[in-house]
Amino acid sequence: MQAMQPDENYLFTYKGFYFQPDLTSVEHLDTLDDFEIRDSDVFLFTYPKSGTVWTENILSLIYHEGHRNGMENLNILDRFLSLEYKIRNVDYVSHPSPRLFLSHLPYYLVPKGLKNRRAKVVYVVRNPKDVLVSYYHFSKIFVTLGKVEVEDFGIFMEKFLAGKVVASLWLDHVEGWFSHRDDFNILFLTYEEMKKDLRSSVLKLCNFLGKRLTEKEVDAVVDQATFDKMKADPRANFEFLPPDMIDHSKGHFLRKGTIGDWKNMMTVGQNERFESVFKERMEKLPIKFCWDINDEL
Ligand code: PPS
């Protein structure tokens, strides 16, 4: 594996995008452009901390009866193939269909075969203040991200606003995917709509994926995708990962799982600073953001 030289933030740049150095390689990233796509492939794209694992869980419950009825006891890492990070040593080519992929890649680094609109793409977006707060807490428990000491929240926020974090700038990611949506067979979902009406979100996904589930099966998906169920499930909460990857003594992967937790973290001044950097570009996005659990969608 070609060595990736991390910078002072323990980040590696490949084609203008920040990766975590120890989980991928230049050779692997170089193969992605020509990566062969199947019609039956499903790709989940997100900016980190936007509800990736939640949506992975829902998709795998929709696709696999064995996950719904508990017969297949797979942890969340083994239910999906990570496109850019080779976390598991799995051969993607011989993997049976339907292959479920997850990725934090920006639209411009994805396999070019995806642009023929055959495989299905799901993109989940979350309000960026909750993303920031979730990311900050995660960087304390995810040991490899924390190789550079995560200082106070204000310093982390400046890194986030400058895009000096894994997956680069939130705005670029979301803007890029929305403005190129016509290139893909894509469904956009928001974390907030999933939180406010999980059942409707599951049905929306089933409809997009062409999966017909019975009422009872939909109930089973919804039941196993609630925050409380997932938090209590060690397979979803990454409790199987060793302490040199996740420091379980410092917190849980499934932390609060709500809308508006940023209000408990950001000062008035930090919120103003955030808005001064993000607001103008955010207003141009075709998304109505929800900032509080009590707000209407
Ligand atoms: S990662 O590391 O990028 O894969 O993180 P990601 O999975 O995208 O996001 C983690 C946040 O999603 C929350 N989460 C949920 N919220 C509500 N309901 C369910 N079922 C659920 N599952 C995961 C998780 O708690 C993280 O958000 P915070 O705000 O930190 O709690």
Taking only the tens place, the pLDDT of each residue in 40-57 is 999 999 999 999 999 999
CA distance 62 to 110: 24
Which two tokens mark 128?
A: 């960026």
- Distance from chain centroid for Cα 273: 25
Residues of the chain with pLDDT > 90, as a percent, come to 74
Q: Whose CA is nearest to atom 27 of ligand 1?
A: 257
Does the pLDDT at position 149 exceed 70?
A: no
Q: Which of 53, 135, 190, 259 to mutate to test the pocket of ligand 1 (most atoms within 8 A of CB)?
A: 53
On whether the CB atoms of residues 118 and 183 are closer than 8 A, the answer is no
pTM: 0.95
Q: Domain segments of the chain: what residues? A: 8-282
Model confidence band, residue 250 (pLDDT cutoffs 50, 70, 90): confident
CATH for the stretch 8-282: 3.40.50.300
Residue 4's pLDDT is 67
Q: What is the DSSP letter of 35?
A: P
Residue nearest to atom 12 of ligand 1 (CA): 51
pLDDT band at 21 (very low <50, low <70, confident <90, very high): confident
pLDDT at residue 30, rounded to an integer: 96
What type of residue is 45? F
Map tokens 């075709």 to a residue.
Answer: 286
Which residue is closest in CA terms to ligand 1's atom 9?
A: 49
Q: How many CA atoms lie within 13 A of 28 on its CB side?
A: 19
For residues 81 and 151, the model is more confident at: 81
Token pair of 214 as six digits: 């019975």
CA-CA distance, 186 to 42, in Å (whole number)?
Answer: 10
With a 6 Å cutoff on the Cβ, whether 257 touches ligand 1 is yes
Gap between the Cα atoms of 49 and 104, Å rounded = 10
Share of the chain above pLDDT 70, in %: 96
Do the beta carbons of residue 147 and residue 55 sit within 8 Å? no
Q: Which helix (H) or strand (E) holds 28?
A: helix 26-31
pLDDT value at residue 173:
98
Highest mean pLDDT among 4-13, 22-31, 137-146: 22-31
What the block records as the tokens of 194 is 């999933």
Confidence of residue 240 (pLDDT cuts 50, 70, 90): confident
How high is the mean pLDDT of the chain? 92
Mean pLDDT, range 265-284, rounded to an integer: 97
Q: What is the DSSP letter of 246?
A: B
Residues whose CB falls within 8 Å of the CB of residue 246, separated by 6 or more in sequence, listed in order: 141, 142, 143, 238, 253
Q: Is 135 in the pocket of ligand 1 (CB under 6 A)?
A: no
